[in-house]
Amino acid sequence: MTNNKQQATILAIDQGTSSTRAILFSETLEVLAIQQKKLQLYYPHKGWVEQNPETIWQDTLEVCKQVLADKVATVAAIGITNQRETTILWERNTGKPIYPAIVWQDRRTAIDCERLKTAGNEAMVTARTGLLFDPYFSATKLAWLLDNVADARARAERGELAFGTVDSYLLWQLTGGKVHATDVTNAARTLLFNIVEQKWDAELLALFNIPDAVLPIVLDNAAEFGKTDTSLFGREIQIGGMAGDQHAALIGQRCFRPGMVKSTYGTGCFALMNIGATFRASQHRLLTTPAYRLNGRTTYAIEGSIFIAGAAIQWLRDALGFFQEAAASEALALSVPDNNEVYFIPAFIGLGAPHWRPDARGIISGLSGETTKAHIVRAALEAQAYQTLDLMTAIEADGQHQADVIRIDGGLTANQFMCQFLADMLNKPIEVPQTTEATALGAAILAGLTAGVFASLEATERYWQRDKIYSPIMPKAERERLYTGWKTALQSLISI
Ligand SMILES: Nc1ncnc2c1ncn2[C@@H]1O[C@H](COP(=O)(O)OP(=O)(O)O)[C@@H](O)[C@H]1O
Ligand SMILES: O=P(O)(O)OC[C@H](O)CO
């Protein structure tokens, strides 16, 4: 007798800044299939960064269909994870965006944030949202859309427009316009959501002048978000999980216990430490954010946000033409014995944590006649480690835990030079899991919880497997010499 019962699968949609991916996972969280499409960023003015939401949706649909192929019948649930803060406003009756997506990197509202800061409300905002005033977050981007797109504010007040981050916009499209919802981790990046009381905050809505008619409902990370429209995949599929990409990566890396840290190196780099069930505002200008909320219970995290990580490598590739593929950066970095005193601070869109200087811009310092392309590439890779080190001490102090080990993931972790240098600078072991698609894994775990594939988060721990461990080998004096060089370069940038 043949057993033709097919194993259940879980589809994860990972909509990142640089690309859109669909990954099909097995019940034991192995990657069965993966499809990816690169996504274009547009820079219409200095400091402005936009993407086309309709392309985001069409790419999502395309990669999902490719990855599902003949497996549609096996899918138990879909999980969505996404670049966070990116702001979209669309018409409820047509699903059409009224303006391009304003990407998290966009700085057009820096002046509004400066004004809010001067007015003195930051402490109140931090106590409620865990965030601070920076153009990074969605609230001022949404206010800009309402004030600058013809008729937007009046239409929003009449209930004709829907606001969402990318998760919410994709959910709307996947459900054929039936569901306008988000999850707690994405809501928490807007500056409008009170993460202590777990609700949209009327006072914050008033502060940013946002009508509540545009807002999605906010659900747990594992929840019944809705079903896909039958026309898309030939049957309805439950969307059972949703989380911002950095929160999803924390789950994908199984950082379920207080003190566990993951750091994801994609377009940007975001290090999160699980701090348990009690909200604590950062004392070091980091962020507090929900790690996840399940069955109404929130686990919090402290986050250090670095805006430019892989984007610096992309810039060397695309703007300077240093190489054809990002992977070539590793051989170039290793072709020289050291950085030859070159430091590259990639503050292309200002500095994130702990400096929060939207006005700062990048520098390459220490250039001499001996500097070669290889030194600059090496400095760009080394910068990932220096930036992480800038945050780590603060994360450990805020998180009230020492991290024994750091789990890393994201595109840059394919670069072994970067990983070893990170271990050396942090002076801690760095673990790379077998599946570096931790973000998508997190979304799959959340969807699997809702679909009953997994009984609990902890039940998925046994599927986490380490692929590599990088142990620190650099002598202390060398580490300190290099880091002092970085700090000097940073100081010269900050004091400009
Ligand atoms: N071998 C490599 N060395 C250095 N950088 C890399 C390498 N492979 C990928 N990258 C960088 O990683 C980033 C893509 O990572 P990914 O996790 O897919 O990003 P995102 O989720 O932000 O779309 C790109 O910026 C790319 O330049
Ligand atoms: O696209 P990534 O993976 O760099 O992530 C973007 C972040 O979510 C922005 O907050």
Q: What is the pLDDT of residues 334-351, one digit of tens each?
A: 999 999 999 999 999 888
Beta bridge partners of 242: 80
At position 161, the amino acid (one-letter code) is L
At which residue do the structure tokens 């979209």 appear? Answer: 88
Query: What's the 422 CA to ligand 1 centre distance in angstroms?
Result: 16
At which residue do the structure tokens 């004709």 appear? Answer: 160
Contact call for residues 182 and 161 (beta carbons, < 8 A): no
Instruction: Tell me the C-alpha distance between 4 and 321, whole Å.
Output: 52
Instruction: Tell me the C-alpha distance between 392 and 263, whole Å.
Output: 10
Give the pocket of ligand 2 (CB within 6 Å).
Answer: 16-17, 83-85, 104, 244-246, 266-268
Instruction: Tell me the C-alpha distance between 330 and 346, whole Å.
Output: 18
Give the pocket of ligand 1 (CB within 6 Å).
Answer: 16-19, 266-267, 310-311, 313-314, 326-327, 329-330, 410-412, 414-415
Q: Is 234 strand, coil or helix?
A: coil
Ligand 2 atom nearest to CA at 309:
4
Q: Where are the beta strands (DSSP E) in 188-247?
A: 193-194, 199-200, 217-219, 222-227, 238-244
Of all ligands present, the nearest one to the C-alpha of 328 is 1
List the alpha helices (DSSP H) in 188-262: 202-208, 230-233, 245-252
**Percent over 90 (pLDDT), the chain:** 87
**Percent over 70 (pLDDT), the chain:** 99
pLDDT at 1: 34
Q: What is the pLDDT of residues 464-488, one digit of tens each?
A: 889 999 999 999 999 999 999 999 9
Candidate from 40, 103, 104 with most ligand 2 atoms within 8 A of CB, to mutate = 104
Q: What is the pLDDT of residues 410-451, one digit of tens each?
A: 999 999 999 999 999 999 999 999 988 999 999 999 999 999
Q: Domains in the chain, ordered, with CATH?
A: 9-245 (3.30.420.40)
Mean pLDDT of the residues in the chain: 94
Strands 31-38 and 217-219: unpaired
At position 419, the amino acid (one-letter code) is C
Candidate from 262, 267, 305, 409 with most ligand 1 atoms within 8 A of CB, to mutate = 267
pLDDT at 2: 35
Of all ligands present, the nearest one to the C-alpha of 413 is 1
The CA-atom distances, in angstroms, between 281 and each of 207, 223, 408 are 20, 27, 25
First-last CA distance in the chain: 76
Q: What is the pLDDT of residues 150-203, one digit of tens each?
A: 999 999 999 999 999 999 999 999 999 999 999 999 999 999 999 999 999 999
Which contiguous run of DSSP H or E holds residue 292? strand 287-294
**Cβ-count burial 429-458 (b if 16+ within 10 Å, e if not):** ebbbbebbbbbbbbbbbbbbbbbebbeebe
**Cβ-count burial 14-39 (b if 16+ within 10 Å, e if not):** bbbbbbbbbbbbbbebebeebbbbeb
pLDDT at 400: 85
Q: Angle CA(407)–CA(258)–CA(280) in degrees, nearest 5?
A: 115
- The residue length of the chain stands at 496
Ligand 2 atom nearest to CA at 136:
10
